[in-house]
Structure 1
Amino acid sequence: EMSQKLKKASSLEEALKPEKVPKGLLWEDWEWLVLEHYTDPDFQIKSSINSENRANLTMVSRTGSKPIRQIIYDELGGKDGKVPDLAEIFKATRKRKDGTLTEEDAVVYDTIVEESNNNPSMSQFDLVEKCFGVQDRDRVICFGYGTKPEDIRGPQPSKAELKAELLIKDRQISDLRGWMDNIEQHKANHQKEISDMQEAHKRDIDKLEAKIKMLADLLLGEQSNTKAI
């Protein structure tokens, strides 16, 4: 509202007139906003970019003057503690007076439902980004202005937390590799034991066969001597 007052003024002098000061604001504060903030080149660049982005929106909310969060609260069970799914919110905030969706919105709605059915464990925030792209500003599509990404997905972990988690994962991987190495070593030892047992068994059989052969030779020798007598 305040920036609109400045845009409507024909000059800075007119904007700084006492009657142009927004209600509830001191003239000194208004002067600072006009001369230091609204006329700052960085602010004007950002304002221009934001205006272009709003003009390029291909999907707009049809909730009228009723905020999206109010619709969630009043119509989708929010006041009873229910958390509506993304498809419900999308349809409720984009349906026309007759309750139907435009052809374009119907395609998006079907996409949301399909993705939700195919990935039932996907979080609401991940589903939003899957269907609408990265949400990295001060609003999340379908959840209204003022709802930031962290309000839906929860706070992002800090670098220290990520580093600690990475160290834990590294230890787990190291432990797993050690466990696998132990299994391989145990397997190798077991194979060696089997091989040693097989060789010992073969030696025992060879000795037994040698004894049998020796006894057979003795018996044959005795039989030959008996016949000779």
Structure 2
Amino acid sequence: MFVFNVKGGGGNPPDVGTIFYESQKKNNKLVKPEAIQKHDQIEEILNAEPFLSSIEIVEKCFRPQNHSHVVAFGGGVKEKDLQSGTFSKAKLLSMLRSTREENKYLNEENKSLHDRLSTLKDEIKEIRKMKEFFAAQQPRVRAATLPVSTE
């Protein structure tokens, strides 16, 4: 997420100096003397040897890298430190299974309610037709039941 927020122009990723600066800044400037020194060192290497890859620049400034450490973001942070809130695979599978079962139940209930609503709509249509039929018959019934005058 961080790297995407400080992208260079044209969709190119930022250089190591920019990443280091953005990760170490406070109030838009570097505060710690060692951070200022490292940033200057990175910028110096970038200017002197622009053909080096990002990992080569990092290794020149910070030492050869061990893949279990995250560099230039506070140093010494291990991968397992970043995964503190994760669940085991078995727990995730169990959660997935229960979520799927709940979704299946809710979908069945939704279908049942939808079918019931459809049935009720059909019944209302039938009642309206019957009401219209009886309303149309009403004048004929009144005429037939009116008392006949014998005068």
Give the TM-score normalised by structure 1.
0.36
Equivalent in the alignment of 2:74: 143
Equivalent in the alignment of 2:109: 179
Aligned residue for 2:16, secondary structure, equals coil
Which is greater in Rg? 1
Structure 1 residue 96 and structure 2 residue 46: aligned? no
Aligned residue for 2:36, secondary structure, equals coil
CA distance in 1, matches of 2:74, 2:143: 94
The amino acid across from 2:74 in the alignment is F
CA distance in 1, matches of 2:85, 2:142: 83
The amino acid across from 1:144 in the alignment is G
The amino acid across from 2:139 in the alignment is E
Equivalent in the alignment of 2:16: 59
CA distance in 1, matches of 2:143, 2:69: 95
Q: Deviations over 1:73-101 (max 9, x none)?
A: xxxxxxxxxxxxxx5x522578535x999
The amino acid across from 1:209 in the alignment is P
Q: Deviations over 1:166-215 (max 9, x none)?
A: 10110121122123112202311220231122122123213312213435
How many residue pairs are counted as aligned between the two chains? 104
CA distance in 2, matches of 1:165, 1:188: 34
1:159 aligns with one of 89, 96, 102: 89
2:135 aligns with one of 180, 202, 205: 205
Equivalent runs, 1:99-110 vs 2, <5 Å = none
> Are the counterparts in 2 of residues 138 and 149 from structure 1 also a CA contact under 8 Å?
yes
Equivalent in the alignment of 1:16: none
Where relative contact order (Cα < 8 A, 6+ residues apart) is larger, the structure is 2
CA distance in 2, matches of 1:174, 1:214: 60
Tell me, which stretches of 5 or more residues in structure 2 are unaligned? 1-14, 44-66
> Are the counterparts in 2 of residues 139 and 148 from structure 1 also a CA contact under 8 Å?
yes
The amino acid across from 2:36 in the alignment is R
Q: Provide the alpha-carbon RMSD of the alignment.
A: 3.8
CA distance in 1, matches of 2:74, 2:84: 14
> Are the counterparts in 2 of residues 150 and 156 from structure 1 also a CA contact under 8 Å?
no
